[in-house]
Amino acid sequence: MRSSDVVERFWRAKPCRLGSRDAVVVEGSTVRYFVWGNQVARWDRDADVLEVDDCGWQTYLTKDRLNKILYRINFEIYSLRGRWYIHNAEKGESYVWKGRHTIHLQTGLIEPAQSRFTHPKISKRLKNYYERALNILDARRRMLITPTLDGVAYIFVEEPREHTQTILVKMHSPEFDVWEGQLKHSTILSAFTRNSPERILRIIGKNFRKVGDDCKLEYLIKGLTQMGFTPEALPKDLVSALATAKILEG
């Protein structure tokens, strides 16, 4: 069992334990997640409220577990210059991490909620930028397409968060290659607002993993589905090329 499996059981309200480190405890309508005996998360299912707490341990392990839990509700914790922030990806807003926060799952309301951007002019400018960038991202259907020397490159991104899952497909018909990885949402938004896929292509080697030839087609279909892309939403030439590749593979 992995930590991701324990988190899955947390959200299913199923008690479990991973060695002596991770544990999920269910008491009536309350579900608790413990790391080394510290309660880092408490989900009140009746009130539909999640409480997250670093318990005084702002470590990689604590942040990893919290992020695995928060991922399910479109939140994420990130650090900048040694300071933690909690980000609401749906609203595009970041708040100063206070050690413990309460999140109302229906509304996304978080308490306490001290905005990361406290300077009024800077805050307004950044908010306007993010709103414009997200609109552009939606208008481009979360994909960028660009010609290459021997074919076409397709870049697909999930709904933006601090680290955004990204899939790159390079077609050089009838063959294709697939890379997968995560990019900072600032990189994603910059590439989309400038319509500049090159900003992503030039850092692929550092941030991405090339998917093996034996499973790339299966991975691509599964990955795009998990990111919310339906076959109808994909470019027709890509669907046709993938269909050809499937025939050749079979």
Cβ-based neighbours of 73, under 8 Å, separated by 6 or more: 50, 103, 105, 108
* Percentage, residues of the chain above pLDDT 90: 39
Q: Which long-range contacts (CB under 8 A, 24 or more apart) does 5-9 make?
A: 6/33, 7/33, 7/65, 7/68, 7/69, 7/72
Per the prediction, the chain carries an average pLDDT of: 86
pLDDT grade, residue 161 (50/70/90)? low
Domain boundaries, the chain: 3-111, 139-249
Cβ 173 vs Cβ 241: under 8 Å: yes
Q: Return the higher-pLDDT residue of 36 and 226.
A: 36
pLDDT for position 68: 93
Q: Average pLDDT, stretch 126-141?
A: 79
pLDDT in tens, 187-220: 888 888 888 888 888 887 777 888 988 888 888 8
pLDDT for position 100: 95
pLDDT for position 135: 82
Q: Return the higher-pLDDT residue of 55 and 121.
A: 55
How far apart, in whole angstroms, are the C-alpha atoms of residue 115 and residue 155? 32
Name the pTM for this structure: 0.54
For the chain, the first-to-last Cα distance in angstroms comes to: 34
